[in-house]
Amino acid sequence: MSNKPLAIFLMGPTASGKTGLAMELCRHLPCELISVDSALVYKDMNIGTAKPTAEEQDQAPHRLIDLIDPLEAYSAADFRNDALAAMAEITARGRIPLLVGGTMLYFKALLEGLSPLPAANPEIRTELEAQAQLHGWEALHRELAEIDPVAAARIHPNDPQRISRALEVFRISGRTLTELTQHKGDPLPYKVLQFAIAPDDRAELHARINARFLQMLDAGFEQEVQALYDRGDLHPGLPSIRCVGYRQMWDYLGNVVGYDEMVARGQAATRQLAKRQLTWLRSWPEVRWLDTHSQTLVEDVLAEISAANNDQ
């Protein structure tokens, strides 16, 4: 363990202050930032994802941001490959990878490795989309339940991306997702310090989320989504448009809901996202908790890192 290079994970729910703390740590340590956020990989989706501003990225560049078009897909396996490559580059220069974000599945994939699953097959995905258009995703979920009841119990009937992937894996390989994921890949070859940041008071987190959504609207979020809507090749079934806030704004632009309802739903969806993130983190092993409002936040993290370095 002592021979492994150091990496720092900074995790937490949305609107908890991760980016600000990460940038402050970069002023004190030879760190380079790697984004761990499934929404920040998309180009032209800046306001609604709370993407670091151009000024913030000038001060502390973030890797794994603006990687793909919203029409494209990006998996946990893609993230792991890209993150490992970025971490290797950073440590080769004697610096510390600081991974910051709230996509807990990505952190888990990086820590534990992933099972070797078949690559995506566009033809099969098109077939599944056509089936879903004809019969609905609930019908495909019932098909999955017959093939792989364990995976079906874990995947919600309204989660088309995961239903599609599970069926795709079976049609490609003849083996279920449950079978193929019993064996993990290689674990992360780093000594990892894991921090989670959040306000102590849940009501405070909710207030921050609600306020930030309104700030996004003031910053031009509606216009940002309108530009995506006007492209004509994007739709609500895509992972990009299912991102929190974007789906609700999409429905407003399509006259499915009114403006006030869009705001309420966007805020509620963001609060639900934060709840899921906190649920992951409560069972996360070896995590050091930080209070967003601590007066000694940076000093506490630096002390932990110094102690870990001295233990090597």
Give the burial class of 7: count Cβ atoms within 10 A of its Cβ; 0-12 exposed, 13-18 middle, 19 or more buried: buried
264 pLDDT higher than 50: yes
pTM metric for this prediction: 0.82
Six token digits for residue 177: 């997702």
The confidence score (pLDDT) of residue 5 equals 94
Query: Which residues, 6+ apart, have CB-to-CB distance to 136 below 8 Å?
Result: none
- Mean pLDDT for 298-312 is 86
Condensed to tens digits (0 to 9), the pLDDT of residues 158-184 reads 889 899 999 999 999 999 999 888 776
Rg (CA), the chain: 20
Tell me the average pLDDT of the chain. 94
Q: What is the CATH T-level fold of the domain 6-114+185-311, as seen in this structure?
A: Rossmann fold (3.40.50)
Structure confidence at residue 2 as a pLDDT band (50, 70, 90):
low
1 pLDDT higher than 50: no
Domain ranges of the chain: 6-114+185-311, 122-180
Condensed to tens digits (0 to 9), the pLDDT of residues 10-25 reads 999 999 999 999 999 9
Whether domain 122-180 has CATH 3.40.50.300 = no
Determine contact, residues 287/196, Cβ cutoff 8 Å: yes
